[in-house]
A and B are shown apart, each in its own frame.
Chain A
């Protein structure tokens, strides 16, 4: 069965850092592009970042460009989101998503809270 499991969320002060992880199972991870999507409390969905299957291409939303970095380790079936210089407005549930044409498999999300 195809699964994505996120971890690494938590409470952090503004200006701090967190590293989110996503572990995949049930499919050949190295064949797929992967995505991070977030959802602020009571709000809609916001695409954050994409990484191609080989890590050769990475894309970022303007809201996180220069502060967040996406990476993956195909040998560990894992993807990561390094979040630096966190802001209050980064508070959200962060979803790890598999991307084929559309976003076809979603994890259950990990919660990031940025507050002083």
Chain B
């Protein structure tokens, strides 16, 4: 099983500032990595797939980078509506696995 490790566990960022979230895989994924956003009481929403491709309707302030075992989600200018938990997930192999999540809050 591929273990996904996210850091930090939580992040407090001022409005308009940059937020950088990390995800590490225990084995190489090539680019088979997705990021999801989950707000309280809601289902997750796909943000990024293929490590760096934004899903339909996702604002340009969200960007993904990385390949292999190290990946990053960047929110370039944090908005209040971006407060959520963010999960990375690998789809390189079964079983599919998620990171434990990073909670992003407004400072």
Contacts and interface: CB of A to CB of B under 8 A. Distances in A.
A46 B44 CA distance: 12
Interface stretch (B11-19, B66-74, B86-94): B86-94
Interface residues of B, number: 22
A101 to B, nearest CB: 5
B47 to A, nearest CB: 9
Contact of A44 (B32, B43, B100): B100
A95 B97 CA distance: 15
Given A45-B44, A62-B95, A103 B89 contact: yes
Interface of A: 35, 37, 44-47, 50, 59, 61-62, 95, 99-109
A45 B43 contact: no
Contacts of B36: 45, 103
B43 A107 contact: yes
